[in-house]
Structure 1
């Protein structure tokens, strides 16, 4: 009897293992791991990210369309493999003005206020962006510091997310990110701070779209139990759902300017797909200096 049980367990484990594929994403120049690369899947409304070691596990029904990572060329899959090499993206920059902040004056835009509203992600995710206008165009300005109110739940390790910055092109985001910074946030509710004092980011007169993007990997994944209220009024208790850390707080504002973005399409919070975000801002505070 014991042998039969062990054999059954082996068969179960074997079926699970062979229904999955492990792949690795590496830098084509130096062959180092690329952490948190974005794996875009064919026919899916979600994506996956590699872990810190550049690995990601694909299920049997998941097939890669292409791989994205900030600072690298997109890699479109023509042939299946277990290792993919991404080429660094180099841009020729001419006539760049190099200037340093004076740090003699600073002011705050945005707010860390909160109410009972927040932004979260299930397996399907999106970017949440606030637009920050530059109201003082008399002198060149820089971003010195960004603070975001985060909450990391039910995890034994720190969570990570992408801080994303886009240029403002006639009221819409640019086609490519200006900056993508992987940020670590601690377990529990915290003010997560990103310091740019050593490498300040220019705050242009057109303003910037600044926000967050979830990293969809095992490091951030957890399961939660919720009560679902159905349309007929019945309740389904202790339903297990997949969640992705962290939770980002928001607050009600008469001058809300939050945007949601999926698959490179930005939409106003007034759009029906983002109606729950309407009249709210992301709880994010930015220190601007001269």
Structure 2
């Protein structure tokens, strides 16, 4: 990159920062929904993001915070923490005397990834193992890298509503490493597996930390495209419980495998470890 190009790129961008409204600490990986764009941007781990001149933020989202509608451009945005009102709490403690596994992973050649199409991929899980309450301890999956030595991805866990994602139950940021192909994320505390089941979905974090450029041939022409690590491993199994999500404006639209005419892309490989 020439010095002139670097200066042009620098002055065509505006750096913004997303902070917690209560403690003024950075909100890592906040999602910046862009007006009239079919893609979004994630902030970096330190809460900063670079916005091109033609990109206008319409909304900022982050798990655990209220969505912020953006009416004017600013350099700093503050998100308010979200507090849920709970009328009645029934405490069920895990016994931790038994361990179960659900789902499977396999080191196969097919992986899910993101180029210029923004999507989410996941899988439906239901408790067909035990009549007593179960608690989720960890999740495992295979990853692959094209450019980075490590990258982060968001794992969203939704309540299952008739085979599609309902309300968001949990959301965590998981770091994957190139040298460690199998990623196992252990939750800080085991949490209850809901009676209606869950959807576990991967949402790529679209920021500079995870992005790289690659040359692809499209319609007979070579194009420089932006993609993001990591890629998520698949397994060979029937796709009925696979979940595909596409971003529509500020919201996600989901469909399950029974609605997907393409049966040849495999299923996402996720293994859950549970306890009683």
| Fold conserved between structures, TM > 0.5 | yes
Larger mean Cα displacement after TM superposition, 44-53 or 101-110: 101-110
Q: Any idea what the Cα deviations from partners look like across 1:185-215, whole Å, max 9, x if unmatched?
A: 112461111113x411211221110121100
Q: What is the rounded CA distance, in whole Å, between the counterparts of 1:54 and 1:137 in structure 2?
A: 42
Tell whether the 8 Å contact from 2:19 to 2:79 is kept in structure 1 after alignment: yes
Q: What is the rounded CA distance, in whole Å, between the counterparts of 2:25 and 2:72 in structure 1?
A: 21
For the pair 1:125 / 2:118, whether they are aligned, the reply is: yes
Q: What is the rounded CA distance, in whole Å, between the counterparts of 1:99 and 1:270 in structure 2?
A: 35
Find the counterpart in structure 2 of residue 181 from structure 1.
Answer: 172
Tell whether the 8 Å contact from 2:238 to 2:267 is kept in structure 1 after alignment: no
Summarize the alignment of residues 88-103 of structure 1 with structure 2, pairs less than 5 Å apart: 88-103=81-96
Find the counterpart in structure 2 of residue 4 from structure 1.
Answer: none
SS in 2 for 1:17: helix
Tell whether the 8 Å contact from 2:239 to 2:257 is kept in structure 1 after alignment: no
For the pair 1:249 / 2:233, whether they are aligned, the reply is: yes
- Out of 202, 212, 215, the residue aligned to residue 212 of structure 1 is 202
Find the counterpart in structure 2 of residue 265 from structure 1.
Answer: 253
Give the alignment's TM-score, normalised by structure 1: 0.86
Larger C-alpha radius of gyration, 1 or 2? 1
- Out of 64, 77, 82, the residue aligned to residue 70 of structure 2 is 77
Tell whether the 8 Å contact from 2:201 to 2:243 is kept in structure 1 after alignment: no
> Structure 1 residues 191 and 289 mapped into 2: Cα distance closer, same or farther (>3 Å)?
same
Tell whether the 8 Å contact from 1:256 to 1:278 is kept in structure 2 after alignment: no
Q: What is the rounded CA distance, in whole Å, between the counterparts of 1:57 and 1:214 in structure 2?
A: 18
Tell whether the 8 Å contact from 2:105 to 2:271 is kept in structure 1 after alignment: yes
Q: What is the rounded CA distance, in whole Å, between the counterparts of 2:203 and 2:268 in structure 1?
A: 12
Summarize the alignment of residues 95-244 of structure 1 with structure 2, pairs less than 5 Å apart: 95-155=88-148, 157-174=149-166, 176-188=167-179, 190-196=181-187, 198-226=188-216, 228=217, 230=219, 239-244=223-228
Give the alignment's TM-score, normalised by structure 2: 0.90
- 1:180, distance to aligned residue in structure 2 (A): 0.8
Q: Any idea what the Cα deviations from partners look like across 1:58-88, whole Å, max 9, x if unmatched?
A: 1111100100000000000112111000000
- 1:15, distance to aligned residue in structure 2 (A): 3.3
Find the counterpart in structure 1 of residue 271 from structure 2.
Answer: 285
- Out of 9, 14, 17, the residue aligned to residue 10 of structure 2 is 17
- 1:137, distance to aligned residue in structure 2 (A): 4.9
* Unmatched 5+ stretches in structure 1: 1-7
Q: What is the rounded CA distance, in whole Å, between the counterparts of 2:200 and 2:104 in structure 1?
A: 13
For the pair 1:31 / 2:24, whether they are aligned, the reply is: yes
Tell whether the 8 Å contact from 2:240 to 2:258 is kept in structure 1 after alignment: no
Tell whether the 8 Å contact from 1:129 to 1:209 is kept in structure 2 after alignment: yes
Length, aligned pairs only: 271
* Unmatched 5+ stretches in structure 2: none
Tell whether the 8 Å contact from 1:151 to 1:189 is kept in structure 2 after alignment: no
